[in-house]
Structure 1
Amino acid sequence: MLGKWVGMLILVSLVVPMAHGATPSECKTEKNNLINNCRPVIFGSNPSAGCCQNVRDAHIECVCPYIGPKTALVVRDVGVPRVIKLIEGCGRSVPRNYKCGSITTPP
């Protein structure tokens, strides 16, 4: 189960929040789209256009609740700088010292 979420969480756990909130239905759709479109990233692939679009559209409140200690360890193993580079490559900015679940970005 953890592996299924990792692709999505790696790419959107550190993104800047969107201006408006998401409904539970929107969050479910976003999670499913991210899992389906961003899974190859866990295996070292660059994010596809579809994955990047999902990263740009993601609502932080849909993702941060799922960033627990186990997922944070996986993200740290992949490398937070790599994750930040991927997110920024998709057109989202990553603030310094930003806390999302069990992950805090570097200062």
Structure 2
Amino acid sequence: MIWSMVLVVILYGNWEIKIVKGEVSESICREERRIGKKACMSVLVGMNPSAECCERARVTHEECFCPIITPKLAAILNPKRIIRLIQGCGRTVPRNFKCGSITTPP
């Protein structure tokens, strides 16, 4: 489970999402976003992710953040920067991956 927008989305966390039956529960996603928001606050102000933030980037479930990437949120993100940050944390970002309203570059 590898997804490019985890750092930013976990910063904007606490949105309610619907999880497909058999997937990660809503309460787990809420907790992952809460922890990630705390760990990755520095990214929001333009700093590089901390070791704790990178750990969150590696373990957060895609089901917990992709559904909340709306066109409005996508318009304020810099997907190329986020992808570089995710990759710098050791998580692979697949090409042409659809995450919310953003598709990673080919």
TM-score, scaled to structure 2 = 0.77
Q: State the Cα distance separating 1:21 from its structure 2 match.
A: 3.7
Residue of structure 2 equivalent to 1:24 = 26
Counterparts of 1:31-42 in structure 2 under 5 Å? Answer: 31-42=33-44
Q: State the Cα distance separating 1:8 from its structure 2 match.
A: 3.5
Residue of structure 1 equivalent to 2:14 = none
Q: Residue 57 of structure 1 is aligned with which of 56, 59, 70?
A: 59
Counterparts of 1:1-107 in structure 2 under 5 Å? Answer: 8-9=8-9, 21-75=23-77, 79-107=78-106
Q: State the Cα distance separating 1:22 from its structure 2 match.
A: 1.9
Q: State the Cα distance separating 1:64 from its structure 2 match.
A: 0.8
Which 5+ residue runs of structure 2 have no aligned equivalent? 1-5, 12-21
TM-score, scaled to structure 1 = 0.76
Root-mean-square deviation over aligned CA pairs: 2.1
Which 5+ residue runs of structure 1 have no aligned equivalent? 1-5, 12-19
Percent identity between the aligned chains? Answer: 51
Instruction: Indicate the structure with greater helix content.
Output: 1
One-letter code aligned to 1:63: F
Residue of structure 2 equivalent to 1:16 = none
